Structure 1
C-alpha cells in the first residue's frame, strides 16, 4: 500500500474552502486553507484533519484569494508550531484579504467576542509566515518543494514536490498560462512529473476564452452606456480582477476605444490597488480612474449615492454582489435607472446575490438596469488545462477545485499515489 496520500478537506468537488492534505515522502503538508461562501459551513473539514494528524510539518499557501486563504488563521491556531510558506507578494496581500473576510462574516454582529478572537488569531498567524521568492526550494524533511509562478493573480504560486526515489508531484493551485494586463502567465517545470494535481474550474466547459473578443464586447457595452448617459457598475473581486479591469479601462481610453469617463474604485479594491501599485511599480490611478472619496459623518448608503452622482462608473467589491458589501449597496442604488448597466466579469457561487440576479426572475424584477456578463478569466480554460497535462506528461492527473467534472476528486476522498 502506498504511503503517499492526498485528502481534499475542501475545494475538491467545489470552488471554495480549498485545503489539500498531503502525506508525501514521509512529510505531512497542507496546501491552502480557504473559506466557502456559506454561513452554515464556511471552513474546510478541520475536524477530519485533526483526527487524521495531530501534527503538520508545513503549510503552503498558493495565493491570497479568500477561497484559498480565508481560514488560514483558524488552521494556524490548531497547529501553532507549524511554519507557513508563501511568496512575498502573497504575504503582503494576505492580511488585508483575511481581515476583510472576517469583517464581512460579522457584518451583522460587529465587535462580538468571536470577531475579536479571529483578529487575534490573524495577528498570531501572520507572525508564523515565512516568505519565499519564486523558484526558491523549501526542504520539509525529505521533501523538496519548489515554488513556481502560477499566473492568475499577483504572487500566485504552484508547487513542485520532489520526494522518494526521484518522484515528483505538481500542484497547480489556481493557474493561468495566458498573460494578463497585471501578471505574466504561469511557468511550468521543464521536466515531466509523476503526479499532477490540477485545478479544474473551467474543465469540460467547451467555450474557449477569446480575450480580444471579450475586450471588444466590454468596450462596446461601456460605449453604449456612456452614450445614453447611463452609469456603469462593475462588481469585481478586490484582488486581481479589480486591477485587471482598471488596466483595461485605462488602456481603452488611451487607445480611443472608449470615450473618457470618470471611474471611482471603492471597497477593498481601493486598498488592494494601492498595494499593486507599490509591488508592481505600476500606476493604476490616473486622471480618469480615482480611489473613491471618503464621506465622513454620513451613513454609508448616502455616501454611495453621492459617489454615484459624481462618477460615471463605480468599480467595487464584491464581484458576486454578496449582501452587505459595497457593490451590493451600489446595485440597489443604480438598479433603479434603466439607463445604467451592471457588468459581471467572473465566477459566481449560487449563494451570491449576483447569481440570483442573473438566474432568478423574482429578484430581477426589482431592478431596471441592464445586466451584462463579459468574461475575463484568470483561470486556464479547458484547452489550457489539457495543454498543461500534455506538457507535464504525468502518470496520473488528479482534478480538484471544480464542479460537475466527470473526473472530479471529492472532498474527504483518499487519493493514493
Structure 2
C-alpha cells in the first residue's frame, strides 16, 4: 500500500471515529487539494452544520462531503424540492445534476440567497434531497466566455476528476528528500516589462509562477519556455498564475506541448479571462501571418487542468508548499501569491502586478502576511520620477480633453486593455455623463471589451465593495448604461461611426500592437479635430509608445493587406493615474506597511533603470537586502 493510500485509510478511520454512529463513511479520496468524503447519510451530515467545519479544523484540510450515488433522490423530484427551498427572488436559471458525484450545480442571479446565512440554505437543500449543491452566478451580461468555459468543464468532468485525483496524490505523496533549501530562478521580466516567469524550487517541488510573452518584442516570445524548460516542463509540479494579462499568461498552454500535465492554480475570473485572452492571442497571430506557438486545443487543455482558489484560502499544492492568494488590486482576479514552504522553513511572496490603493474597480492590494522572508516585487513604475497623477486629477483631465474634443466636433479614441482599464474608463465616463460633467454621446466598445466587461459582472465579489453593491443590491449596473454600444458590425459599423457625430471610442489593443485600434487609426487618425488619449502603460518597442513619443507618421497594414504610411493629424494626449500598476510611491508604501517587512526584495517587471532605482531606494530607506536581477539568475534563500 502506498503512503497516499495509507493516509486515506487512516483519514477514513479518524473521520469515522469522530462522527456520530448513525453517519457512515463509505469512501475518502483526494481531489486536488481537497479531501472528498463520500457518505450514505448526506442528510444527517447536513443537519449538523458544524461537523464539516470541526473535521476540517482537526485534520487541517479542505473537506467536501458528497453522497453515494445510490442514495440520491431522482433529479426530477429533487428539482422541485430544491426550488421549494430556494427563495424565488434568488432568480434560479438552471439546475444541472451530476449523479456520478452527487452534485447539483445551481445557477442563479443572486447566489447569496441560494447559499443563505453561513450556508444555511445549502444545508437545507442537502437535508431535503441528499444532493450536494454547488452555486454559480448567472452573468448579468451574457458572456460567451463564461458559458463556454462552464460547458467545456462540464463535458470534461470525468477527465477533470482523474486529473484532480492524480494531483491530490502528488500533493500528499511521501517527501523524498531530507535536504532543506529554497531557490527562485528568474526566467523572464527582469530588467524588462513582460515575459513574466519564475521557478520556485525546493528539494521536493518545482513550481512555475506565470508564463507570459513580451509585448512589442521582435524576439521569439516563448524563448524562456523552450530554453529554460524545454523537456523539463514535465518535471514541474504546479503552475501558479497571478493574473490573466498576456505578459503573464500567454504561454501557459505551450507547457502542455512540452509535456506538462499538472495543475494550474489561479482564481476563477482569471481562469475565464485567461481562456479569452489566449484564444485572442492565437487569433491575432493568425491575422498577422505569424505562426502561433500552440493550437487552441492547448488552451482547452490548460483550462481543464485549472484549479480555482479564492482569496485567503490556504491550500496545499505540494508535500512541502502551501499557497495563499490575496487581492492584488490590478485587474479582475489578480493575486499576490504567498508560498509557505516546509514546516515554517521559509515564506516567499510574488506580487504579480499590483495597485496599492483603491481604484473605482478594485480594493487596493493586500500586503498583510504572517511572514514573508523574500518578496518578488513588480517595478513597472519603480523609477525615481514615476509618480502618477492623483486619480481625481486624472479624471478631471480626461473630462477636460473629452469636452474640448467635443467642442471641436471630433472624436475621442482611447486605446485600452480589454481587461481592467476599459472597465475603469467605462465607470468614469458613465458617472461623468450622469453628473453632466461631459455631454452625453455614444461610447463605442470595440474588440474584446464588452466580453471582458461581461466577465467582470459575473464575479462581483472580486470588485470594489461599493461597486459590487451597486451591481447586485441596487440594480444600478453602471456597465449597462445606454450610452455603451458594442461594436459588432465590423468595418462597416466602424465606418459609420467615423462618418457620424462626436463620440468616444474605447478599443483594443491597449499598446496599439494590433487589433481594431489599427482600423480606428485609419478612420480617425487624419482628423485634426479628434484626440487619441493614452490611459495605460505603453511598453518600449510598441507602436503606442512611438505615437506617445511624438511619431506622426506610422507604418500600418492597410485594408486589403497593403503596407503604407499613415499620417496622424489628431491630437495625442496622455492621462496618467489610470494605470493598474502602483506608482513609485505605491510600491514603496506596499513594502513600508508590511509587518513584518521582508528580509530580501527582488525588483522585477520593470525596465533596467526602474528596477535599479526601486532596489536602491528600498535598501536605503528600509535597510532591506535588495536585488535587481537579470533573466536566468538563480537565488538560494535557505
Given that 2:328 and 2:351 are in contact with CA atoms closer than 8 Å, whether structure 1 keeps it comes out as: yes
Q: Which deviates the most, 344-353 or 325-334?
A: 344-353
How far residue 361 of structure 1 moved from its aligned partner, in angstroms, is 3.7
Q: Which deviates the most, 399-408 or 213-222?
A: 399-408
Q: Secondary structure at the match of 1:168?
A: strand
- Report the counterpart of residue 513 of structure 2 in structure 1: 322
- Report the counterpart of residue 221 of structure 2 in structure 1: 42
Q: Secondary structure at the match of 1:303?
A: helix
- Report the counterpart of residue 334 of structure 1 in structure 2: 524
The correspondence for 1:398, drawn from 602, 608, 611, is 602
Matches within 5 A, 1:78-117: 78-109=258-289
> Where do 4+ consecutive residues of structure 1 move more than 4 Å?
51-54, 114-117
- Report the counterpart of residue 301 of structure 2 in structure 1: 124
Q: Secondary structure at the match of 2:333?
A: coil
- Report the counterpart of residue 633 of structure 2 in structure 1: 413
Q: Is 2:606 aligned against 1:386?
A: no
- Structure showing greater relative contact order (alpha-carbon pairs closer than 8 Å, 6 or more residues apart): 1
Gaps of 5+ in 2: 1-178, 461-470, 472-476, 555-565, 616-627
Q: How far apart, in 2, do the equivalents of 1:205 and 1:43 lie? A: 31
- Report the counterpart of residue 569 of structure 2 in structure 1: 368
Gaps of 5+ in 1: none
Matches within 5 A, 1:197-276: 197-209=376-388, 210-276=390-456
Q: Which deviates the most, 242-251 or 272-281?
A: 272-281
How far residue 360 of structure 1 moved from its aligned partner, in angstroms, is 5.0
Q: Structure 1 or 2: larger helix share? A: 2
Q: How far apart, in 1, do the equivalents of 2:499 and 2:455 lie? A: 27
Q: Is 2:342 aligned against 1:151?
A: no
Q: RMSD of aligned C-alpha atoms?
A: 2.1
How far residue 175 of structure 1 moved from its aligned partner, in angstroms, is 0.8
How far residue 351 of structure 1 moved from its aligned partner, in angstroms, is 2.5
How far residue 53 of structure 1 moved from its aligned partner, in angstroms, is 6.7
How far residue 25 of structure 1 moved from its aligned partner, in angstroms, is 6.4
How far residue 115 of structure 1 moved from its aligned partner, in angstroms, is 5.0
Q: Give the TM-score normalised by structure 2.
A: 0.61
Q: Secondary structure at the match of 1:248?
A: helix
Q: How far apart, in 2, do the equivalents of 1:136 and 1:79 lie? A: 29
Q: How far apart, in 2, do the equivalents of 1:51 and 1:413 lie? A: 20
- Quickly say closer, same or farther: Cα 1:188–1:319, change in 2 above 3 A: same
Q: Secondary structure at the match of 1:173?
A: coil
- Report the counterpart of residue 253 of structure 2 in structure 1: 73
How far residue 42 of structure 1 moved from its aligned partner, in angstroms, is 1.0
Q: How far apart, in 2, do the equivalents of 1:174 and 1:371 lie? A: 27
Q: Is 2:354 aligned against 1:175?
A: yes
How far residue 190 of structure 1 moved from its aligned partner, in angstroms, is 3.9
Given that 1:6 and 1:20 are in contact with CA atoms closer than 8 Å, whether structure 2 keeps it comes out as: yes
- Quickly say closer, same or farther: Cα 1:88–1:184, change in 2 above 3 A: same
Given that 1:34 and 1:44 are in contact with CA atoms closer than 8 Å, whether structure 2 keeps it comes out as: no
Q: Secondary structure at the match of 2:265?
A: strand
Q: Which deviates the most, 366-375 or 191-200?
A: 191-200
Q: How far apart, in 2, do the equivalents of 1:103 and 1:174 lie? A: 25
Task: Figure out how many residues of one structure are paired with residues of the other and give that number.
Answer: 408
Larger Rg: 2
- Quickly say closer, same or farther: Cα 1:303–1:291, change in 2 above 3 A: closer
Q: Give the TM-score normalised by structure 1.
A: 0.92
- Quickly say closer, same or farther: Cα 1:332–1:205, change in 2 above 3 A: farther
Q: How far apart, in 2, do the equivalents of 1:361 and 1:16 lie? A: 23
